[in-house]
Amino acid sequence: MTWFDEARLDDDSALGSIDLRLRHLAESGSRVRREVGDASEAADGAVERARELDRPRAVIAAGPDSRLLRAVLEPWCPVPFVAWPGPALPGWAGSLDLVVVLAPDGSDSGTASAVAEAVRRGCQVVVACPPGSLVAEHTVGRYATVLPSTTGDQLAAAVVMLSYLHRVQLGPETAPDSVADALDQVAMDCGPRKDLAVNEAKMLAIALADATPVVWGGSVLAARAARRVAEQVRRASGRTAIAGDAEHLLPVIEAARPRDVFDDPFAEGGSGPRPVLVVLDDGSEDATVREQRGRLQATAAERGVRVETLTSEAPTEVARYASLMLSGTYASEYLRLGLVED
């Protein structure tokens, strides 16, 4: 039988068993700074080349990591934007278009194929990938630039690319330093030495211990963070965790049975774990987001479903996304730590 021992969250010996994973999380901000610094010279060259050319007809984010760029750019980009995660390009892509690619690993053959196709068609190409990697080897052409990615961190590579796109007036202000600072703040607030009484990640792990997480974010970026957090919880616990739009999550909350204080959710024939609503609040004041959040919280109150909220006051959208995602990832690691088997 698996149960949750919250004492392990403040036990030095137990915390030591996941020290490497927690250290990796704590270094998230430094990886962003390192990527930005390593890519600065190449980014300057790419910006200068872009100024010699007309504004692209469209921006295509290619490769499997394109969805984060889509979440940031779609509401802002002044030219048509499309995310194309497959190993090819849209049939209409050509010399008038800009193709941007995130490949922090650099070994994906499908991404390399898409980059080679973009170069062959004469597109402007900017790729964030490790120098010397398979993808970098295909990024060779007059209008092709490699922004060196050395940490293997998808978020750090995305910050480098988004910073470039802002400089060529195709994306919003990213402010890499604000992203790194937000990640550092989460590392301080959610780190292992912070007592669980004042550590929101540890408290969230406790709330999820005997529940099914239902994770929601209202804005486009908060919704993406919700999906990533649910994924991390599934990996850490091997349990169900779902994320989605409000209309997809409301039926799950509405179906929650009335709470029975004598019910053992893990006993044979028991009612099973109850949902807990986890709201990722990035401060969006959009009327639709407020209305959806209100419906979810009101329904949760009616059904006796617990609500946990993660917030971020970072100054930019990308920084708030990074902060929420890292807070949820810390919580998933503490959940992993607290779950023990008899």
329 shares its domain with 254: yes
pLDDT given at position 60: 97
H-run or E-run covering 2: strand 2-4
Last residue of a domain, one of 111, 146, 174: 174
For the stretch 122-159, pLDDT in tens is: 999 999 999 999 999 999 998 999 999 999 999 999 99
Last residue of a domain, one of 174, 190, 222: 174
Q: What is the residue whose two structure tokens read 């007592």? A: 195
Angle between helices 220-237 and 317-338 (to 10 degrees): 20
Count of CB atoms situated within 10 Å of the CB of 6: 16
Is 34 part of any domain? Answer: no
Short-list 273, 255, 256, CA closest to 264: 273
Cα-Cα-Cα-Cα dihedral sign, residues 84, 89, 93, 96: positive
240 shares its domain with 104: no
- In order, the DSSP letters of 69-93 are HHHHHTTT-SS-EEEE-SSS--TT-
Is 119 part of any domain? Answer: yes
pLDDT given at position 64: 85
Q: What is the residue whose two structure tokens read 């994906």? A: 108
Short-list 252, 48, 7, CA closest to 167: 48
255 shares its domain with 272: yes
Is 94 part of any domain? Answer: yes
255 shares its domain with 130: no
Is 183 part of any domain? Answer: yes
pLDDT given at position 260: 63
Whole-angstrom distance, CA of residue 128 vs CA of residue 14: 37
CATH number of the domain bearing residue 160: 3.40.50.10490
Whole-angstrom distance, CA of residue 177 vs CA of residue 159: 10
Q: Tell me the two tokens of residue 24.
A: 């990796």
224 shares its domain with 322: yes
80 shares its domain with 197: no
Is residue 114 within 8 Å of residue 101, measured between CB atoms? yes
Is 44 part of any domain? Answer: no
Q: What is the residue whose two structure tokens read 């999380």? A: 25
For the stretch 184-233, pLDDT in tens is: 999 999 999 999 999 999 999 999 999 999 999 999 999 999 999 999 99
154 shares its domain with 262: no
Q: Tell me the two tokens of residue 296.
A: 């979810």
Is 35 part of any domain? Answer: no
pLDDT given at position 261: 60
Give me the average pLDDT of each 10-residue run along the chain (342 residues). 92 96 98 97 95 94 90 93 90 96 94 95 96 96 94 96 97 95 98 94 96 96 96 95 97 85 56 90 94 97 96 95 98 97 78
H-run or E-run covering 127: strand 124-129
326 shares its domain with 184: yes
Q: Which amino acid is at 234?
A: R
Question: Left (φ > 0), alpha (ψ -120 to 50) or beta: where does 122 sit?
Answer: left
Q: Is 109 helix (H, G, I), strand (E, B) or coil?
A: helix
pLDDT given at position 65: 82
Backbone angles phi, psi at 60, to 5 degrees: -115, 120
185 shares its domain with 325: yes
pLDDT given at position 40: 96
Q: What is the residue whose two structure tokens read 């403040």? A: 10
Last residue of a domain, one of 174, 194, 211: 174
77 shares its domain with 164: yes
141 shares its domain with 127: yes
pLDDT given at position 70: 92
pLDDT given at position 102: 96
Is 41 part of any domain? Answer: no
Is 37 part of any domain? Answer: no
Range of the domain at 8: 2-28+178-341
Counted domains in the chain: 2
Give CA separation, 254 vs 177, 241, 246, 251, 297, in Å.
42, 17, 12, 5, 11
pLDDT given at position 86: 81
